[in-house]
Structures are given as structure tokens and as C-alpha cells.
């Protein structure tokens, strides 16, 4: 039984090494929305319209996104307003 499992695992490992990897493609759009830019990196302003309980999560997300070579983010104080709706600011997320 162990020999069969070992043989199956070996065959799977060899198939992974022999078969070429398919390249990832990202040529899609989301309803034709995109961030217009002329160069990389470009900066997206993140409005902090959240309670203090979520601030650390926004900071981590901003830091992770900024690690990219094509994107920088800055966190700005947003207008918290009502919890059910926040008025969007042009050019901000």
C-alpha cells in the first residue's frame, strides 16, 4: 500500500516538473473602470471612513499595496458621516 502511495506521489511530482506552467493573464476590466495613469508607480488616496477598530487593517492593506512597483497608497482622513453611506470623493477610494 505504501509503495503505491509513494509511486503516485512520485508520478505527480514528475508530472508537475515536466508539464509547462501556463502563464497568468489579466486582460480583463471591471465594467470599463480603471485608474488612468501615465507612469508607475501611481498613487491612490485611501479615505479612512472607518472606526478606530478597523484602522490597523487599513494600515496593513495600504502597506501591502504600496509594496508593489506599480502602486502607492496614502491614507487620508475621510468624512465618517453616517454608517450607512459615505459620500465618495473624486479620485479617492
Question: What's the pLDDT tens digit per position in 56-73?
Answer: 999 999 999 899 888 899
Number of domains in the chain: 1
pLDDT digits (tens, 9 = 90+) for 23-82: 655 555 666 666 677 788 888 888 888 888 989 999 999 999 899 888 899 998 876 555
16 pLDDT band, cuts 50/70/90, is low
pLDDT of amino acid 33: 66
- Mention every residue, 6+ apart, whose C-beta is less than 8 A from residue 75: 46, 48, 58, 59, 62
| DSSP 8-state class, residue 83 | T
In a domain, 66, yes or no: yes
**Does residue 87 or residue 24 have the better pLDDT?**
87
In a domain, 49, yes or no: yes
Find the length of the chain: 93
* Domain housing 43: 36-93
In a domain, 44, yes or no: yes
Amino acid at each position: 500500500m505504501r509503495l503505491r502511495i509513494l509511486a503516485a506521489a512520485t508520478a505527480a511530482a514528475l508530472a508537475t516538473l515536466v508539464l509547462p506552467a501556463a502563464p497568468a493573464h489579466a486582460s480583463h476590466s471591471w465594467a470599463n473602470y480603471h485608474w488612468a495613469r501615465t507612469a508607475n508607480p501611481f498613487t491612490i488616496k485611501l479615505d479612512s471612513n472607518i472606526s478606530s477598530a478597523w484602522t490597523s487593517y487599513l494600515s496593513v492593506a495600504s502597506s501591502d499595496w504600496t509594496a508593489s512597483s506599480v502602486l502607492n497608497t496614502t491614507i487620508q482622513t475621510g468624512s465618517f458621516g453616517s454608517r450607512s453611506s459615505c459620500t465618495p470623493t473624486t479620485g479617492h477610494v
